[in-house]
Structure 1
Amino acid sequence: MDRELEDLINGIGPRLRHIRQERGLTLEALATATGLSVSTLSRLESGKRRPTLDLLIPLARTHRLALDHLIGAPPTGDPRAHLTPHRTAPRTRNASVIVPLTTYPARLQAFKQILGPTPGPHDLVAHPGHAWFYVLSGTVRLRLGPTERLLSPGDTADFDTTEPHWFGPATPTPAEVLHLYGPHGDRPRHPPTNDQPPP
């Protein structure tokens, strides 16, 4: 084992103790939350028990930390997010481009959507979920049930998507919005592909 890897492994125990104490947790409370025994946690923190995935994963879940952050692993690879836009077909009700801005799984996800002008009429849609977006540029027309609103840069929309709705640019100029989707199924839907229109 090389020295760098050995130092990393030896540092995991003290790091786990620091994280637990920083959160104000006793060994007993952490044992209850993770399903690990107090003695196992104590031996992990003191370096007497080798950290393995079956021990670290419950700790990562309980502390809500990515595994590499939990153990203090050095950064690897290219930290830049390589963005892959998804373009909807012009025939859809809201021809647009979706750009994922985050790549980390199971966390809050951010998407930029460029809304292209489309000819009316625009059918209202409804589906399970919740929508939240922030207008970056342009003017967005939001139809929500019987009401209609114009949103300018800096305005936000926050609504239940079971209510019939439609949104798009209010002028011939494209509009840009920022979407935030949660990790537990509370997003309107997945980013659209070429044959899947946005909400």
Structure 2
Amino acid sequence: MGLNDEVGRRLKELRQDAGLSLSELARRSGVGKGTLSELESGRRNPTLETLYALTTVLGRPLSAVLDDPQSGVRESPRGVSGSAVTAVLVERYEDAAAATDVFRVTIADGATQESTAHVPRTTESLMVLSGTAVVGLPHAPQTAGPGAHAHWPADEPHLYSAPHGEVHGILFVRYPKGPSPS
């Protein structure tokens, strides 16, 4: 089974587990019903933006569609690309407090990608390996070069940019569990 088939199968399982129809998930996520149907059947290539839109509505980490932690078998790293960012899932860690996805990311030279808000209380941290990244909240972007890092709330719209050449880094996306503090 290829990446498209695996992602489609997991996406359909998550949607059904959430008790959502294809139409309802499409409506809530802003992803077209036809696109969602093609993703679930493995006939469409998933993009990073589309998968985040869907997993956010489902209240799940991106790794829930890229990796199968229930199988007990560690699959080869799974990658997905967006308009500027290519992300390869290299690790998924989960405990009672949170699920954390670890990605090896590349931000394309001169490109900017805007990400929609993820599930509440999600945070992201980028450790830059090479290049200079501009990341975080659009109204307060952070610049990080080799060996530096940036950290921002990912439950708000945020961006990734590589204005001066390709950027390579390690991205940590942390999804806390349980109710939000009041």
Which TM-score band (shorter chain)? 0.3 to 0.5
Q: TM-score, normalised by structure 1?
A: 0.40
Q: Which has the larger radius of gyration?
A: 1
